[in-house]
Amino acid sequence: MATFRSFIGGQWLDSVSGRTAPNINPANIDDIIGETQLATREEARRAVEVAYEAFHSWKRTPPPARGRIIAKAARLMEDNKEELAKILTREEGKTIGEARGELTRAINVVEFCAGESRRMTGETIPSELPANFAYTVKEPHGVVACITPWNFPVAIPVWKIAPALVAGNTVVFKPATNTPATAVRLTEIFNEAGLPPGVLNLVLGSGSEAGDEILNHPAVKAVSFTGSTETGLKIYAQVAPRGVKVQAEMGGKNPVVVLEDCDMDLAVESTAQGAFGSTGQRCTATSRAIVIDRVADEFVEKIVARAKSFNLGDGSDTNTHIGPSVDEGQFDTVLKYIDIGREDGAVLLCGGKRASGEGLDNGYFVEPTVFDKVTPDMRIAREEIFGPVLSVFRVKDFDEAMAVANDSEFGLSSSVFTNDANNIYRFVDEIETGMTHINSPTTGGEAHIPFGGIKNTGLGAREQGSTSLDFYTELKVVYVDYTGRKREGNLY
């Protein structure tokens, strides 16, 4: 059985707390992967202090030299891709195919960020005065806290850590407590790639204690967070009095709008993939299908047939389509929302309970679930469930579809299914989400394309792509006067 420890100042640290948390395979709770030593508040503080000590020289390392280390980390991730994918499946539960996909995305992100190290450019701007000009340079903040969830425990940490480091910040990385194995392996890889001690530190511990202590440290100048809206907004409020920069990617309640003229089989397949893929544990998962009345019976019949066709099981079995919920807490939350949906009057068409049978009884499996006749006031229409649960809304026309789609505090992703070019562009104009997809699932994204949401989903600059360094850098503006004389006239 493995022991997972924090990594502080280039050393793996035995915590003095004496407190541990088991790392359990959610597909088979008898499979104990290891034990995490939970860091104390002092240990979390120490991680920030060593990151602060390392900042001065890391900031002065030329960006392309920083990028070379990040590029090596990408190569090491590629060399260890299959091992990382297996660890990911075992501790998080997603299928091995999904895990390999996450690794591919993560490696692409790290490669992209390595390239960005050679593009940390600024502007030169002519002055209105003769023999004067101005230019801009990008500078790091200092110590950045990267606080990450369990659902993409490889991709999300690296899409924060890689740009933060390329920009010249040092990092304290606090992953979710239930995915320590991937966090430890990633930290080893970045360290092996050649980061100096203290530049990347890993703190394994609870959010409310270790996470809280990191955030309270005055040396932390920026926080990049992905997780629930509740925690993200709490963190924002906690650090706001110190003027700390916050980037947060939080909840979603992503709609697909299915219009009458769509390719129905495409709409059904894409909705099923978006709703049930990765067990619904994606911030971009499809949770609402908003369907024009006249085609709703056909949509519902087909989506239920598709929901029933998936094989549930251990993600390491290549015949498995859908893995378990990540842990008991998440499993209970999904079942609780299914009860709430029933009580609120939604019509349960399939699923709605714990999955049982061979290979399922020892894991946190929930049957893919479809509710019909959901209305916008119901809790299952408004709150993020993070499980394989789809709510179908029946609407009379395009305008009602848009009203329902936008009736949400969240605004991450969305899709429309139609072949009518006018409706596609009306949808793009009117939909209130940070990302939208035409005739494809709400999920997915690419390393070189910005990712993020609006409303209560997103705070701060977009992650990834051309915007990936924005959050991690400050702009310094430099005025150069080479006249050698004092300025004439009125100054302003």
| 430 part of the active site | no
Catalytic choice (146, 283, 367, 463): 283
Q: Tell me how crowded residue 353 is: count the other CB atoms within 10 A of its CB.
A: 12
Interface residue with ligand ADP among 142, 149, 324, 441 (CB under 6 A) is 149
Secondary structure of residue 89 in the 3-state scheme: helix
Interface residue with ligand ADP among 67, 207, 313, 387 (CB under 6 A) is 207
Interface residue with ligand ADP among 51, 146, 235, 244 (CB under 6 A) is 235
Give least dist CB 21 to ligand ADP, A: 11
Q: Are strands 473-481 and 132-140 parallel, antiparallel or unpaired?
A: antiparallel
Catalytic choice (249, 367, 384, 463): 249
Interface residue with ligand ADP among 106, 155, 171, 176 (CB under 6 A) is 176
Number of shown-chain residues binding ligand ADP (CB under 6 A): 18
Query: How far apart are the C-alpha atoms of 97 and 203, rounded to whole Å?
Result: 29
Q: Which two tokens mark 431? A: 């939909």
Place of tokens 């100042």: 9
Q: Does 251 bind ligand ADP (CB under 6 A)?
A: no
| 249 part of the active site | yes
Nearest to 151 by CA among 364, 387, 383, 312: 387
Query: How far apart are the C-alpha atoms of 255 and 442, rounded to whole Å?
Result: 8
Query: How far apart are the C-alpha atoms of 61 and 79, rounded to whole Å?
Result: 26
Q: Does 244 bind ligand ADP (CB under 6 A)?
A: no
Q: Does 209 bind ligand ADP (CB under 6 A)?
A: no
Give least dist CB 93 to ligand ADP, A: 14
Q: Does 458 bind ligand ADP (CB under 6 A)?
A: no
Which listed range, 101-109, 130-138, 205-213, 372-380, lies at the site for ligand ADP (CB under 6 A)?
Answer: 205-213
Q: At what angle do helices 63-79 and 81-92 cross, to 10 degrees?
A: 70
What does each C-alpha distance from 248 to 232, 236, 365, 380, 394 come to in angstroms? 6, 8, 29, 23, 33
Q: Does 228 bind ligand ADP (CB under 6 A)?
A: yes
Do the beta carbons of residue 77 and residue 114 sit within 8 Å? no
Q: Does 67 bind ligand ADP (CB under 6 A)?
A: no
Which listed range, 226-234, 297-305, 338-346, 437-445, lies at the site for ligand ADP (CB under 6 A)?
Answer: 226-234
Active site residue ranges: 249, 283
Contact residues for ligand ADP (CB under 6 A)? Answer: 147-150, 174-177, 207-208, 211-212, 215, 227-228, 231, 234-235
